[in-house]
Structure 1
Amino acid sequence: MGAVKARRLPRAVRERQMLDAAVRSFARHGYQAASMDEIAELAGVSKPLVYLYLNSKEELFTAVIRREAQALLAVVAEAVVDPGAPPDERLWAGLLAFFTYAAEYPDSWTVLNRQARTHGEPFAGEAARMRDEITAFVAGLIGEASREARGGVAITERDVAALAQALVGSAESLAGWANETPGVTAKEAAATLMNFAWSGLGNLMKSERWSPR
């Protein structure tokens, strides 16, 4: 009877169950060691049905990366939707949304930040596209902040691009550390990075640059 009920589920619901199961399995075991048998069992379907819907393990992993990346991007975009807010408040909202997502969906974050990048193409390309979108967004906020700085001091486009790369890289590393360190909240992690990054950006906008002696 259970199998009959499962066949009546809409395709979208069944695919979501399979992808949810795949996220858990890939996060737990990695791409190579993850078992299609386990994914089917976790999803409550037969292994042939997984292949029927998603064709292959490679296509399943690609679909997982794409879905989780889109979910993360949507969360960050929704958090910074107010174009009238000051750049620092928008960046704070984006960072808080980013760290909250990584904390609430650790399996998803593991797949995106670790598994997708270590198994070559096409997986690394999917993760890189997500990172490029987040980096472009951060660069836009830094550019806005520099243009609005008191006295009209603006940093160069090269500085903006470099700072955006540094900030995103730091966020990725810090999110992994926060998830593995008991007691560290998403808000604490976001505040740590915000203080670190925004203070340094403020010095740049005042033309106060550190340089080696």
Structure 2
Amino acid sequence: MLRDALSYPQRGPGWLWTVITGSLLTLVGVVLFVPLIPVQGYLLRVVRSTADGRPNPPKFSDWGDLFFDGARSITVQVAYVFAPVMLVLGAVLAPALGYSQAGTFLLAIAGLVGAVVAVALPAALARLATTDRLAAAFDVRAIAEAARRPIYVVAIVEAYVALFVIAGLGGVFVLILVGAAFVFYGQAVGYHLFARGYAGAVGDGRDPMERPAGDD
């Protein structure tokens, strides 16, 4: 899946303008947070489009919807990472307060919780995108059911590779446009893979990009 997904942002007419738009918003978002909201909305649209079996990436359009979806996506992400972040903060502060052993324990728990979040969050975002309901992103049973499927596990591992390698490389140079382009491009690839894994997990176990046209 990863090899095929690497070319995903370059598909369809107008793809270059889409990448440029996302890159500029990402660049400005380093200083002003607001432009990152429609970027997150666009990435949620990538998930929805991919899960529907559409081979080409969506465009930046209907900006009101992008802001709305972006705000919901950020809400879900903050809710999921809140616990591990607080645990890490507690682990950092504990030694300063004279509780060094507690700090080690909290750090271990943070690692465990963080691993669970890393597995669950892609499914949560996919459920938000495909159902258009915020509450669906917190349906533990449905998320756990998807997360146990092999196609989901493979897809999110490949997605995190794309996010950490491509987007991570861009993060080093994010204050210049080429760096922002890497960040946006890597995110588009990663979210595309999230959707492929989730759609396969809740469907027939097949990658939605490999289903014959018109196959339900």
TM-score scaled by length of structure 2: 0.28
TM-score scaled by length of structure 1: 0.28
Q: Whose radius of gyration is greater, 1 or 2? A: 1
- Structure of greater relative contact order (alpha carbons < 8 Å, 6+ residues apart): 2
